[in-house]
Structure 1
Amino acid sequence: MNLLPTAPVARVAPVNLLIVDDVPQNLVAMEALLRRDGVNLLLAQSGAQALELLLEHEVALALLDVHMPEIDGFSLAELMRGSQRSRDVPIIFLTASPNDPVRAFKGYESGAVDFLHKPVEPQVILSKVNVFIELYQQKQLLKARNEELERAIKLNETMTAVLTHDLRTPLSAILLCTDKLSFDLPEDSGAQQTLVHLETSTLRMARMVEQLLDFSRIRTGGLRLQLERCDAGKVVASVVEEAGRANPDANIHYEQYGDVRLHGDADRLGQIVSNLVGNAVVHGGKQGVQVQLDGTTAERVVLQVRNAGQIDPALMPRLFEPFKASFHASKGLGLGLYIADQFVAAHGGTLQARNEDDGVVFEACLPRRVA
């Protein structure tokens, strides 16, 4: 049995055509020619009536007679172009006057897509109307699909946020149980090594959950910075020390210059450093990672993270995109650099990467104060 909800069947709404002519016989003739299923004809004998209909209905095409009392076709077209609701409605002018290039130019200048002379061949007007009906229907279909896609994306991001939020509780329970078991078991037992692997995997999963939460906040506009005066040097030093403990084989060297105090969110700054240093450790940690924080200029603080290796030039334009193909797919979700870039941007700064002769450099420029 299929328990999944089925997609609703799309209903095609009638297409509205506006026909404006001060001669009733002409309206009757056009109505007889264009009436069919799926087409709703809006008939007006003056420009004022036409404007009232445009306020009530969305129109796919307007057929305007040029010669009308009070408001002629050209004036009506200009009024339509001045309204947000009707400015994009295609207009075909109909006139009984002889072919006059000056009048035709005025018609096109008023926003017409075509200029026809009466008597109009029925097949000519039918073919032109059919083209605009089809274009309008395709536009509406595309609009509906875009709205459906936006709803699906928003729902997916909401579900991701809910799921990742709920996953943190069992992960915390696993870590607590791991710590307790490590105290109860002898240090030289084989079970201790198993617990180490379990704790490492759980911490890695917890980092993925946090990345998904950050990703969801960024995409849904839920990211908020807790701005305060903070010492970026202490933040970076703490992250580098933590990365060194977690990766004892990596050679991480940290240098600091000048005044590195700034106005920012210390937790988000820590995540920026953690993601950049973590990325450098993965791709060149054994050859050495250099972290440098430069506060020698008055306007900004510059963080540089350097590691051995080179970034594929083909990947460089997509380096800060989410879920991109990464160098080591097993190391994460491909969100670390994206999140770092978004957090730097939220602080009003820029994050760039470049290849140099001796390795890869990621450089984050952070203003002293967030605008």
Structure 2
Amino acid sequence: MTEAVKILLVDDLPENLVALEALLRDDQLAIYTATSGEDALSLMLEHEFALALLDVQMPGMSGFELAELIRGSSRTSHLPIVFVSAADREQSYTFRGYENGAVDFLYKPLDHHAVKSKVRVFVELHAKSRELRRQLVELETARAEQESLLGALQLVQADLQRALKMRDEFMSMVTHELRTPLGVMALEVELRQRRLDRDDLGWFTRERLQAMLAKDSRQVRSMTRLIEDMLDIARIQHGKLSIRPRRTDLGELARAIVADFTALYRDVPLALEVQDGIVGEWDDSRIGQVLVNLLSNALRYGEGRPVHVTVARSPEGLARLTVTDQGMGIPLADQRKIFEQFERLAGAAQSPGLGLGLYISLHFVQAHGGQISVRSAPGEGSCFEVLLPMLPPGA
């Protein structure tokens, strides 16, 4: 339903207002009347008028004085004013009216047809102006929505480009990581086949066979680890990471893993310090993988210097696992990024791995209600700390 257009009639004589109101009555108009300038100003504070018809000769505040006040207010300065006057059409009188903001004059006795025609013109102008403002508001709203959608589209496009770049990098790294152990195994198989083709069975001594099996085992472990990492990433991204907690002695778990690494890395001193009684409800396979990832990184980037592992109770009563190396260190700006997918430190491009270990470890620790953090500085080594909730007393 279209809102009625409001007009204001001001005259000190009620009978004039009644007559003028009857003349202008229309379903599309809402007519307001005032018998003084003060009443008219009060109405203007409450309503937005399309036109004001002011009687010039009123006691107290004249129509000219009221027009000056209307023009002086920012709220009503745009309001069209038509003066209604019984005075002679003197040029000076008319000039004063226009000087006070009049857009037209009506002289008594009023010509009914002229009055209605002039009022209709201003009403139509106001309606068009109001429609134009509405369209401008709609245009501005549409523009704002368009800018918002464009911004969202740009973000989606940036995310898509980043995802495509990550996919390409991921495929490149996976291909490289799989090609290396497969290439080594292919060469070993070819070498052995040549020995067999020459019936050189004496070459396959017990010591040589043991060395071959150890090398094959390392390559198989490397490929198996890569595949497991990829599966874990898929589980994390789809919210299907499974945790099977059971009563676990963190110290015993650390001893077993450090012993395995000591056997593999005989040239790097590995120290373990364990406080007894660090027991909790944890998935020993997942927490063990966290320690394996931290130790692998410490040995990879530790530049051959000693690595120290501790298991103890924190002052807050949490289980604390730390892995400390004396290697290259991590700049502060990179310490948050290293827990993201495929993020690797500058200068580590020649090191094996996909940059997934810390990302996976973060999610494993968080799945246990714990937290993982790093303290490091370039040239001063790194200390990774894992905090896990312990069993409550008596559990």
* TM-score, length-scaled by structure 2: 0.52
- Partner residue of 1:367? 389
Percent identity over paired residues? 24
- Structure 2 distance, partners of 1:142, 1:296, is 46
Q: Which residue of 243, 246, 253 maps to 1:228?
A: 246
- Partner residue of 2:336? 317
- Structure 1 distance, partners of 2:253, 2:153, is 47
- Partner residue of 2:290? 272
- Structure 1 residue 127, shift from structure 2 partner: 3.7
- Partner residue of 1:71? none
Structure (1/2) with the larger helix percentage: 2
- Partner residue of 2:348? 328
**Is 1:288 matched with 2:288?**
no
SS in 1 for 2:336: helix
Matched ranges for 1:1-371 at <5 A: 21-23=1-3, 96-97=48-49, 119-120=128-129, 123-137=132-146, 139=148, 186-187=204-205, 197-284=215-302, 286-295=304-313, 299-309=317-327, 310-326=329-345, 327-329=347-349, 330-355=351-376, 359-369=381-391
- Structure 2 distance, partners of 1:263, 1:337, is 22
- Structure 2 distance, partners of 1:121, 1:186, is 98
Q: Give the conservation status (yes or no) of the 8 Å contact 2:279–2:391.
A: no
User: What letter is aligned with 1:361?
Assistant: C
- Structure 1 residue 246, shift from structure 2 partner: 2.5
- Structure 1 distance, partners of 2:282, 2:253, is 11
Against the structure 1 CA distance between its residues 24 and 211, is the aligned structure 2 distance closer, same or farther, given a 3 Å change threshold? farther
User: What letter is aligned with 2:348?
Assistant: H
Q: Give the conservation status (yes or no) of the 8 Å contact 1:259–1:296.
A: no
Against the structure 1 CA distance between its residues 221 and 192, is the aligned structure 2 distance closer, same or farther, given a 3 Å change threshold? same
User: What letter is aligned with 1:331?
Assistant: P
User: What letter is aligned with 1:205?
Assistant: M
Give CA-to-partner distance per residue, 1:184-207, whole Å, 9 cap, x none: 971479887676555433322221
- Structure 1 distance, partners of 2:255, 2:207, is 35
User: Pairwise CA RMSD of aligned residues?
Assistant: 4.6
Would you say how many aligned residue pairs link Structure 1 and Structure 2?
254
Against the structure 1 CA distance between its residues 123 and 236, is the aligned structure 2 distance closer, same or farther, given a 3 Å change threshold? same
- Structure 2 distance, partners of 1:290, 1:97, is 83
SS in 2 for 1:258: coil
* Structure 1, unpaired ranges of 5+: 1-20, 26-66, 68-94, 102-116
SS in 2 for 1:236: helix
- Structure 1 distance, partners of 2:146, 2:342, is 35
Against the structure 1 CA distance between its residues 311 and 358, is the aligned structure 2 distance closer, same or farther, given a 3 Å change threshold? closer
- Structure 2 distance, partners of 1:207, 1:226, is 20
Q: Give the conservation status (yes or no) of the 8 Å contact 1:96–1:118.
A: no
Q: Give the conservation status (yes or no) of the 8 Å contact 2:251–2:276.
A: no
User: What letter is aligned with 1:316?
Assistant: Q
User: What letter is aligned with 1:293?
Assistant: V
- Structure 1 distance, partners of 2:74, 2:372, is 60
- Structure 1 distance, partners of 2:153, 2:267, is 54
- Structure 2 distance, partners of 1:188, 1:265, is 39
* TM-score, length-scaled by structure 1: 0.55
* Structure 2, unpaired ranges of 5+: 6-29, 31-46, 51-72, 76-125, 194-200
Give CA-to-partner distance per residue, 1:245-281, whole Å, 9 cap, x none: 2322221111101311111111111011111111111
Q: Give the conservation status (yes or no) of the 8 Å contact 2:255–2:272.
A: yes
Give CA-to-partner distance per residue, 1:282-307, whole Å, 9 cap, x none: 11162111001003767211111111
